[in-house]
Amino acid sequence: MSISFFWSRALLTNRFVLWLLFWCNLAGTIYGYMWYGEQMEYTIAHNAIWQVIFVPDSPTASLFFTIGILFLLYPPKSQALKGFSFLMESLAVVTSVKYGIWAVSIIFAGAAQGDHLVWQDWMLVASHLAMAVEALLFVRFFRFGALMLIPAAAWTFLNDIVDYTYGVFPWLPNELQDDLLGVQYFTLGLTVFSVLLAWVFLRLAKRKNI
């Protein structure tokens, strides 16, 4: 059996595998919202309530991907649902790549400046790397086109703007508090990178017809 089987259409679109991914991502989404619980409570108490939507970045990305997998399991019939599924898929790819890379980068940036990593940090590294990888693996199976990257990019940039205008970005390691401007620029640049990478993978999938 070729190693390429492990990222083949035959394996990844198998209904057992799709259901496994659905439940794993759903569990991760729920855990992620619980992880952000304290910051969400703080935001509700100290900021305008609408800003709480922009606090749990990674769990929301995971939620988009979970919905995208559900639409692979049950393809929508109506035009309205098809449009919604395309939006969820584009958001799933862009935000999963963006926040998967972002979280890992921030964890190691904090460690490089003296933050002591514990087992939860390594768990977050593994789970966020998995977010980015699975999103790129599934670009070729999702049905959204390049135009749907526009609303996905708009949402992700809006999230960045709200995060760093109102201070609702994910809490950083103490070692990075004096690097906030650099983190902000990195976050914005990562949004651009994630959108471009999604576009490249879409083009490759279309060219190879896979």
Domain that holds residue 164: 3-208
Residue 209 scores a pLDDT above 80: no
Q: For 148, which DSSP code?
A: G
Residues with Cβ within 8 Å of residue 175, at least 6 apart in sequence: 110, 113, 114, 115
CA distance 185 to 35: 25
CA distance 76 to 119: 40
Q: Long-range contacts made by residues 114-122, C-beta under 8 angstroms, separation at least 24?
A: 114/175, 115/173, 115/174, 115/175
Residue 99 scores a pLDDT above 80: yes
Determine the pLDDT at residue 208. 67
CB distance 61 to 23 below 8 Å: no
CB distance 63 to 95 below 8 Å: no
Determine the pLDDT at residue 164. 96
**Distances, alpha carbon 54 to alpha carbons 48, 108, 121, 156, in Å:** 11, 23, 22, 10
Report the domain count for the chain.
Answer: 1
**pLDDT tier, 210 (very low <50, low <70, confident <90, very high otherwise):** low
pTM of the model: 0.94
**pLDDT tier, 185 (very low <50, low <70, confident <90, very high otherwise):** very high
CA distance 166 to 155: 16
Q: The tokens 């902000």 sit on which residue?
A: 184
**pLDDT tier, 156 (very low <50, low <70, confident <90, very high otherwise):** very high
**The two structure tokens encoding residue 67:** 């919905």
